Structure 1
């Protein structure tokens, strides 16, 4: 039985898009017959034991803190993480190290892989220098941005195989000089066993939230996720007065939280559409489907940037799996997931009027809803079902074993 040690930034029981993708990968690999464990770095902040079981998966933790000026602090962090990985490798003897971005994980895993002669697979979910720009903690072209990018390039160069979640990231890596044959794509997916059977609409919850008018359900636009600037929720709120001019009973349901929450609440309170906007806050993951069931259309108005052009999000796929209509800004990451008029609706990014027009047209065209919903669910089932897609990891692992042996022979020749 092949043993795979996954090297992670953070994991369950923390909840994030990162941890949910990780869970799906690990569960799918277990079902395929792999023996899997994971280890997290010092950025996993949830309290818990040194070895923790969550949802039937085993996670080892790294203890300690790293201090010092930027750059030196990260090198110390990599050292702590590598030492922790090394101890686990000596004890458990995995066949493959599978590190997931950010590059700190890949750098730490790379040290151990070279020390023990173990193949290293490095999986990139986003370029974290671009993610920092998108969430407001970094700026493009800064020293930190350039150092993060340089470390990423170094990790990619030393890995035996690289996995990306989408074509945008893959094409960018090839432009940097990474051989195309070294890169595999493992797209975001949905665990249809968990997320493929939408619950019935909770009429009592809808009434409680004011999503009915004159005893009838209102048209509901929904967003469920993190409130980062790049998500474009300010444009969605700005679109609401224009949408109400066409659809007076429409409502906007915002579920989640994040750095932009306070500013978005203030914007909504000052809007002429204030009475039509509902902030729910964060909800437990097991209750998310209740809120999906209230929405007719899930909206994803991401702003145009390197991050949103290169990276495909998970949420639109979840929405399709739930049988929801999807309206999204016309950025690269969304175009990779949907075709306008077939399984979704695309509109110009950074443009509240375009967003309002697209939503208004969609709400007015009820005769098209069944076909769009069916196409969305079919798209997820055929191209983004984890139970199917995760099988490609077997090909990656089988590829790196002989490649790694060849590299070792060349080194010692």
Structure 2
């Protein structure tokens, strides 16, 4: 049985889009008959044993700490991670190393792959220099940005095969000079086994949030996730007065938190539509479905940037899998997931009036909701179900098994 060692930034039991994609990949590969195991670097910050089982998956942890000035600290981090990977390779004897971005994981895996003569797959979920710009921890064109990009390009050049989550990332790599036949697109997806019958709407929760009018449910637009600037939630809040003017019963539900939370709350409090905007703060992961069940439309108003044009997010797919309507800004990452008017609606990025127009029109076309929901779910089943898409890894692994 082929053994695949996945080299990861962090993993379960931590919760993030990164860990959920990892879980889906490993579970799907187990179902295909592979033996899988993960190993995380120093950025897995949850406390736990050196070898940990989470949701039926085994993860090894890297011990130690990396200190020092920027650059040296990351190089030391790579060194400690490579040592831990090397120990796991000697003990577990994997057939293939499968590293996942960021490039720190890829570089650590590359050292071990070459030492032991094991094929290396490098999978890019986002360009982390662009993600740092998006979440406010970096700036485009800075020394850190350039060094991160250079390291990623090095790992891509040396890896035996490269996987990306979308066409936008693939085209960017080709423009950098990566051969087309070296890159496989593994679309972002969901584990449909986790999305059975959606939970019923919690009437008591809805009443507590003010989502009823004269005893009837209000139409609810929701966002559940992290509050980063690139998500465009300020645009969504700015759209609410015009939306309320056209659809007086509409409500906005914002679940989560992050760097923009204080600014967004202040913006909402100053809005003429303040009474229609509700923040819950962060909620436990097992509570998230209760809030999804309150929403009719899930809104994703991302602003245009390199990150949002190149990378497909996971959240719209989860929304469609749960039978929710998806409304999203017309950026490259969303266009790969949503066909306007077919599986959801798209509106101009950074445009509050355009956002309000799209949402008001969608709320006014209730007769089309069942068709859109059904089309969205069918799109996910056909193109973004991990149980189906994970089979593409077989082609990549079989190709690598023939490398002399």
Question: TM-score w.r.t. structure 1 length?
Answer: 0.97
Per the alignment, residue 44 of structure 1 pairs with: 44
CA distance in 2, matches of 1:155, 1:194: 34
Question: What's the offset of the Cα at 1:226?
Answer: 0.8
1:358-386 deviations in Å (ceiling 9; x for gaps):
00000011111111111000000110011
Query: After superposition, where does 1:128-207 map in structure 2 within 5 Å?
Result: 128-207=128-207
Deviations 1:75-120 (A, max 9, x none): 1110000001001100100000000000000000000000000000
Partner of 2:111: 111
2:273 equivalent in structure 1: 273
The residue that corresponds to 2:398 in the other structure is 398
Alignment partner of 1:238 is 2:212:
no
1:203 deviates by 1.2
CA distance in 2, matches of 1:196, 1:183: 33
Deviates more, 1:293-302 or 1:259-268: 259-268
Partner in structure 1 of residue 59 of structure 2:
59
Alignment of 1:82-121 (within 5 A): 82-121=82-121
Q: Which residue of 1 aligns with 2:15?
A: 15
Please give the secondary structure, in 1, of the residue aligned with 2:401.
helix
How many residues are treated as equivalent by the alignment? Answer: 404
Q: Does 1:259 align with 2:253?
A: no
Q: How does 1:345-364 map to 2 (within 5 A)?
A: 345-364=345-364
TM-score normalized by structure 2? 0.99
* TM-superposition CA deviations, 1:170-198 (whole Å, max 9, x none): 00000000000000011111111112421
Task: Kindly state the Cα deviation for residue 15 of structure 1 after the two structures are TM-superposed.
Answer: 0.3
Once the two structures are TM-superposed, the CA of residue 287 in structure 1 deviates from its matched residue by: 2.0
User: Per-residue deviation at 1:284?
Assistant: 2.0
The CA distance in 2 between the partners of 1:26 and 1:206, in whole Å, is 36
* 3-state SS in 1 of match to 2:29: helix
Structure 1 residue 394 displacement after superposition: 1.0
Q: Which runs of 5+ in 1 are unaligned?
A: 406-413
**Higher mean C-alpha displacement, 205-214 vs 111-120:** 205-214
Question: Considering only aligned residues, what root-mean-square deviation do their CA atoms show, in Å?
Answer: 0.7
For residues 66 and 260 of structure 1, the distance between their equivalents in structure 2, rounded to whole angstroms, comes to: 29
Matches of 2:391 and 2:255, distance apart in 1: 33
Alignment partners' CA distance in 2, 1:260 and 1:376: 30
The match for 2:329 is 329
Give the whole-Å Cα distance in 2 for the aligned partners of 1:307 and 1:388: 27
Q: Summarize deviations over 1:36-81 as a string: whole Å, max 9, x none.
A: 1100000111111111111111111001111111111111110000
Runs of 4 or more consecutive aligned structure 1 residues displaced over 4 Å after TM superposition: none
What does residue 305 of structure 2 align with? 305
Distance 1:115 1:247 in 2: 63
Q: Distance in 2 between matches of 1:244 and 1:233?
A: 17
In the alignment, the residues of structure 1 paired with residue 77 and residue 131 of structure 2 have an alpha-carbon distance, to the nearest angstrom, of 20
Question: Which digits, 9 at most, give the CA deviation of each residue in 1:215-267, with x for residues without a partner?
Answer: 00001000011111100000001111110000111100011111111111111
In 2, Cα distance between the equivalents of 1:383 and 1:290?
27
Cα distance in 1 for residues equivalent to 2:245 and 2:327? 19
Partner of 1:80: 80
How far apart, in 2, do the equivalents of 1:337 and 1:359 lie?
A: 18
- Name the SS for the 1:98 alignment partner: strand
2:122, 2:314 → 1: CA distance? 20
